[in-house]
Structure 1
């Protein structure tokens, strides 16, 4: 399971994200997706912690907290949806 971290400043670096979450346990991985065209951060990221208890502690402590001028949105990440599944069961051609 991983944590979704939204509404991040575009100035946040991966190391910054790791440091903030490290206060609540061991960070296994932190990721800041980049925009394909510009190569700049997209304003959100994902963090994986060592245990579910650490994830819960980080979510409870950091959700809604202001960091670098923005109020972070922190919650459990949802599984990535398959973009092809929207047309499942519909055999029409467009």
Structure 2
């Protein structure tokens, strides 16, 4: 997975240098301030996730689905930033990062529906 992350980062850098960022794959998600976060260690709390992701912007909402029996998180979640541009920074910088020996998967979410 790390080689894919490196390739994506290279493409993003080239787009920035060429000034074609409007044509970037990120542009497709410009109306959503939500990201998907996978590969989370089961012991991480909402507070831990906010701490990790707040370096790229103000976190407004975190949803970490939990196992009904154990109460432990399921290893993934959704996070909303105050400013949509923070999602681009988080995806570019944290996708492929390692936290507690697990590789994070961070991606944009187009149509997030909040749980009831």
Which band: TM-score by shorter chain?
0.7 to 0.9
1:86 equivalent in structure 2: none
TM-score w.r.t. structure 1 length?
0.78
Q: Once the 2 structures are TM-superposed, how far is the Cα of residue 65 of structure 1 from its aligned partner? A: 0.3
Q: 2:76 aligns with which of 20, 39, 44?
A: 44
Return the alpha-carbon distance in structure 2 between the equivalents of residues 56 and 79 of structure 1.
16
Return the alpha-carbon distance in structure 1 between the equivalents of residues 75 and 63 of structure 2.
11
In structure 2, stretches of 5+ residues that fail to align are 1-31
Q: Once the 2 structures are TM-superposed, how far is the Cα of residue 63 of structure 1 from its aligned partner? A: 0.2
- Corresponding pairs, count: 81
Q: 2:62 aligns with which of 25, 30, 34?
A: 30
Decide which structure has greater helix share: 2
In structure 1, stretches of 5+ residues that fail to align are 82-94
Larger Rg: 1 or 2? Answer: 1
Q: Once the 2 structures are TM-superposed, how far is the Cα of residue 36 of structure 1 from its aligned partner? A: 2.2
